[in-house]
Amino acid sequence: MEKGRILFTDLDGTLLSDDNQISKKNHGAIEDTLKKGSFVAAATGRPLESAKAVAKKLGLIGRGCYLIAFNGSILYDCFEEKILYEQTIPIAIVKKMLNEAEKAGIYMQTYDKTAILAKAHTKELDYYAKRTGMAYRIQPDLSESLREEPYKALLIDLESRKKLEDFQTRNNAWTKEKLNSFFSCKEYLEYCPVGVDKGAAVLQLCRILGISPEQAVAVGDESNDISMIKEAGIGVAVKNAVSAAKEAADYITQNDNNHDAVAEVIEKFM
């Protein structure tokens, strides 16, 4: 493998199996990648604390290991244990989004540095917390109690993607200059700071490391992975990816996330 290359891999639906496990083959391929002098960055919509827990489980804690959390709002050096870059959403914008979500009857949560912040304990909160292992705090007066600018806001509907799509369209006029929105799965509509996505994070981390994006390989499965698939020199969609991600990719894996797709990518392109 060529020294100075970097692998960007999504977590859920890509590196992780459907039951949130990391296969021995994927784990071994990533270890070999690092031993041969290249870099690995796990890129996820998950909050930093949840991403760090996965990174620890993976062994991504040594030199050359990085995290992209909150869909690009944070770049984190796992070895130095420090944030390299971060962007947040102004509190006034989060308050407006909370108000619009409440009017639409859609659950919305935001975050501080360690936990989910929600107005009430709902089935949507339970669903998300179980999948990510994140701690949460219930704050009935969430709009008034925010003290720090959050990294992202997340709207969840477990029954109707269309309801989220309609919300996104209806609010586009005021959000388009202030926020970047995209789906990370059919249940999750994400809002990040304007200009923030995984693709921008790929370019930012490559700049920090002095690596050409042409030396990057990026692999993902969902709509929020499309930007990094496009920005990397080689963009890959796993077999189980959504159609839009496959259309953006240079290569589609023969294996899905439950059958070592990331190991396939490493063996073929790294």
DSSP state of 97: H
Q: Say what the pLDDT of residue 214 is.
A: 97
Question: What's the rounded Cα separation, in Å, for the pair 93 and 148?
Answer: 12
Q: Say what the pLDDT of residue 81 is.
A: 96
Q: Say what the pLDDT of residue 2 is.
A: 42
Over the chain (270 residues), the average pLDDT of each successive run of 10 is 79 94 94 94 93 90 96 97 96 97 97 91 96 91 92 97 98 95 94 96 96 97 97 98 98 98 97
Question: What's the rounded Cα separation, in Å, for the pair 235 and 252?
Answer: 9
Helix intervals (H) in the chain: 24-35, 48-58, 91-104, 123-132, 142-145, 161-170, 172-175, 198-209, 226-231, 243-248, 261-269
Q: Say what the pLDDT of residue 114 is.
A: 83
Strands ordered across the beta sheet of 6-10: 82-86, 74-77, 65-69, 39-43, 6-10, 216-220, 234-237, 251-252
DSSP character string of 33-84: HHHTT-EEEEE-SS-HHHHHHHHHHHTTTSTTEEEEEGGGTEEEETTTTEEE
Contact 212, 193 (CB under 8 A): no
Question: What's the rounded Cα separation, in Å, for the pair 102 and 112?
Answer: 20
User: Model pTM?
Assistant: 0.89
Greatest distance between any 2 Cα atoms in the chain: 53
Q: Say what the pLDDT of residue 1 is.
A: 35
